Amino acid sequence: MRLAYFPATRALVAQLLGACFVVLLNKIGVLYGLPLLALASLQGVFAALAAALMRADRWWLPLHLVFLPGVVAAAGLGLPAWVWAAAFALLASVYWTSFRTQVPLFLSNRKTVATLSAALPDGALTVLDVGSGTGSFVRAFARLRPDSQVHGIEAAPAPAAIGAWLARHQSNAHLSRGDFFAADWSGYDVVYAFLSPVPMAEVWAKACAQMRPGAVLISNSFAVPDVAPDGTLDVADRRKTRLYCYTIGAVKEGDTPRPRLIWPTRRTAKKPHPITITAR
Ligand SMILES: C[S@@+](CC[C@H](N)C(=O)[O-])C[C@H]1O[C@@H](n2cnc3c(N)ncnc32)[C@H](O)[C@@H]1O
């Protein structure tokens, strides 16, 4: 995606436009004598208007309104500069490329991991969590399925380091730092994703290109656009998590994906493992 299309780029442009308007009005003397906080609030109003004109999502507008007034108010606290630098470094190490990927950090809960673990067939599986955060999924799944090898790849340095440290005593949990789009997914029975709606089409394209027929892609909460899942799993948690399950079909490029459904859509007492993974 080109840089100009990122919501964060548009937000920056809106902020700059807001600042330009205020500077311009100040130059011609319209705002003479107004205190700094009032000028900052006016900049917020102009920035929000500019963002609305650029069709930013609605939730950006209050952020634009309060951003510069917030900065001015915080500057009044008189904290040393290193506090702001440290806060920036901390946030950057956690959110890293979120401004570009549009995938923030939030974690899978235990009920979700347990539900998925129970739905997958018994036996040793190779599992990859794409965007593994602090390794919540990888560590919990590896504990529930000690015969399986569970890998996670995370781009942001702080969550990746925390995850690797927390998993240091689990021999079947492997957490590393990197870009999951650059990794090879061909050796995995299951790829698990808990990302955002933005990368799902690309994730699906990569899964179809690299995963073997019969392997499964599981997406927590975010469906692949324009592709019907082979089944869904509803987790009995507070946020009513839904897992979208896609079986990779034996398809060639250009074919319609999912030529055979090996995911039963309903769970029955006779079939304790609704997700079927065909042998290699
Ligand atoms: C919502 S968190 C999910 C964490 C973990 N999978 C879980 O379920 O607990 C998504 C993570 O994906 C990471 N991410 C996004 N794009 C990535 C990429 N291309 N390569 C590696 N990590 C990525 C983000 O940094 C974020 O920490």
178: left (phi over 0), alpha (psi -120 to 50) or beta: left
In a structure prediction context, what are the per-residue pLDDT tens digits for the chain, which is 280 residues long?
555 568 888 999 999 999 999 999 999 988 888 999 999 999 999 999 999 999 998 999 999 999 999 999 998 888 998 998 999 999 999 988 888 888 989 999 999 999 999 999 999 999 999 999 999 999 999 999 999 999 999 999 999 999 999 999 999 999 999 999 999 999 999 999 999 999 999 999 999 999 999 999 999 999 999 999 999 999 999 999 999 999 998 444 555 544 333 343 334 444 557 777 776 6
Place of tokens 């730092």: 177
How buried is 192 (Cβ within 10 angstroms: 0-12 exposed, 13-18 middle, 19+ buried)?
Answer: buried
Pocket test for ligand 1, best of 105, 134, 143 (most atoms within 8 A of CB): 105
- The reply to whether ligand 1 has any atom less than 6 angstroms from the CB of 181 is yes
How buried is 262 (Cβ within 10 angstroms: 0-12 exposed, 13-18 middle, 19+ buried)?
Answer: middle
pTM of the model: 0.81
- The reply to whether ligand 1 has any atom less than 6 angstroms from the CB of 132 is yes
Question: Which letter, b or e, does each residue of 40-68 get, where b requires 16 or more Cβ atoms within 10 Å of its Cβ?
Answer: bbbbbebbbbbbeeeebeeebbebbbebb
Pocket test for ligand 1, best of 6, 91, 94, 97 (most atoms within 8 A of CB): 97
Q: Which domains does the chain have, with CATH numbers?
A: 3-78 (no CATH), 110-247 (3.40.50.150)
Place of tokens 């299309």: 5
